[in-house]
Amino acid sequence: MSNYFTYCPLRLPAMSLKSASTDGLMQLADVVGQLSDADYARSLPILSGNTIGRHVRHIIEFYELLVNSCPTSYLNYDRRQRDLRLETDTDETLRRIGRVDGAIQRLDLSESRSLEANVSVAGGQPVVIPSSVARELLYNIEHSVHHFALIQIAVQHNFPQVGLPPNFGVASSTVQHQATH
């Protein structure tokens, strides 16, 4: 794995990834902070019976797996804790968002990771591929935007009193494309 990263150096400014992550997490905190615990944990038909809290837990736990992979250099997003407090308790959720953001700022984006993934519901051997902290942070940012879009739909449909940040749930490439067309 080290040869791969020797020949493919990190070319993005580290702060741009970290800043993008912070921006997304702070937008998420803004939305979560406007919801009551009851609304945050409410089963919503528009989300096929899921809750905003479940989507937020999923996002936070992916980020937590990344920041906690630093001592081991091993990462598997399938091994989430699924901490149900993150689905029901907005105060705990906001604390964890802050903690994750702080940990992201301390990451060394040039470090390598071994990413393990279970790619078949039928089971079998997981795949293990080389990655880096930078690549996984980028993945987490983009993964979050996907869930933000679902949260945006739920908020607009069920909680119109909640103010959504501009471009919440819209990919940066889409925002840039829309600005030029």
Q: How far apart are CA 125 and CA 140, in angstroms?
A: 24
Domains (range + CATH), the chain: 13-180 (1.20.120.450)
Per-residue pLDDT, 6: 43
- Mean pLDDT: which of 51-55, 69-73, 177-181 is highest? 51-55
Residue 124 corresponds to which amino acid? G
- What count of Cα atoms within 13 Å lies in the side-chain half-sphere of residue 128? 8
What is the average pLDDT value for the chain, to the nearest integer?
90
- Tell me the two tokens of residue 62: 């992916």
Q: How far apart are CA 83 and CA 123, in angstroms?
A: 24
Neighbours of 125 (CB within 10 A): 9
Q: What's the predicted TM-score (pTM) here?
A: 0.88
Per-residue pLDDT, 122: 85
Mean pLDDT of 151-176: 92
Per-residue pLDDT, 25: 98
E-state strands within the chain: 74-75, 112-117, 127-132
In this structure, are residues 18 and 104 in contact, taking their beta carbons and an 8 Å threshold? yes
Per-residue pLDDT, 96: 98
Q: Which residues contact residue 59 at a Cβ distance below 8 angstroms, ignoring those fewer than 6 apart? A: 28, 140, 143, 144, 147
176 pLDDT band, cuts 50/70/90, is: confident
Distance of CA 131 to the CA centre of its chain: 17
Residue 70 or 158, more confident: 158
Reported as a single tens digit per residue, the pLDDT across 78-90 is 988 899 999 999 9
In this structure, are residues 171 and 145 in contact, taking their beta carbons and an 8 Å threshold? yes
Reported as a single tens digit per residue, the pLDDT across 116-148 is 998 888 878 889 999 999 999 999 999 999 999
Share of the chain above pLDDT 90, in %: 75
Reported as a single tens digit per residue, the pLDDT across 1-42 is 444 444 345 555 555 999 999 999 999 999 999 999 999 999
